[in-house]
Structure 1
Amino acid sequence: MQYPILLGYQVPNRTEWACWCPYCFKWHFHGEVSGHRVAHCDNPHSPLLKTGYYIKPATAKDLQFTSVNNMQAEDYPILKS
């Protein structure tokens, strides 16, 4: 089985990784980036709830940062389309 891959980034000054959920439109946070992740999606129709996913580290080309401190939810980066 192939699992979905979501882009994520390491939260500055923390060991957490953040990835954007395309089904509930929220950031989800996880520990170590390697390995399969269980979805924390609020959307009961999200296919990620059944499959989970892997996190692929995003590059600077994938993200547009709106703030340098990343302390508020609205300050997290935006995934470029």
Structure 2
Amino acid sequence: MSTRRLDTPTGSAFWRGRHSAVFAADPALWHLVDKGINVSLSLGTISEGSAPLKRLSRLIDRQTACTVFKVSDMDHC
């Protein structure tokens, strides 16, 4: 059985910025990654890096909300 894994160098601002742009551009991908992160956090399988992942989650959520506002002509960002 193969295991899918997303290795992210979360300590690097350069990569964090790139990941957020990719995830913001693909909400379906972000939904899958976010779901996996939440499951891993609840199972305790993420041993380190949970704080940057939570920050990334908040960032993506903010970017998604801003996009919704812009598309709805309610640009509050």
TM-score for both structures, normalised by structure 1: 0.21
Specify which structure has the higher proportion of strand: 1
Q: Which has the larger radius of gyration?
A: 2
